Amino acid sequence: MPLHPEIARFLATLPAPPEGPLDPVAMRAGDEAHVAPLAERLPLHRVEDLTAHTASGDVPVRVHTPTEADAHGVIVYFHGGAFFLGSLETHDHVARSLAKETGLTVVSVGYRLAPEAAFPAGLDDCHAVVRWAAEQGEVLGWDGTTLAVAGDSSGGNFAAAVVARAHDEGFDRITHQILYYPSLDLDFDEDRHPSLRENAVGYGLETAGLKPFNAFYLDSGADPADPRVSPLKRADLSGLPKTLVVTAEFDPMRDEGELYGKRLREAGVEATVARYEGAGHGFVQHFSWIPEYHEVFARTRDFIAGKA
Catalytic annotation, residues: 153, 251, 281
Query: In the sheet that 57-65 helps form, which strands lie side by side, from edge to edge?
Result: 46-54, 57-65, 105-109, 72-78, 142-152, 176-180, 242-250, 271-280
- The span from the CA of 300 to the CA of 105, in Å, is 14
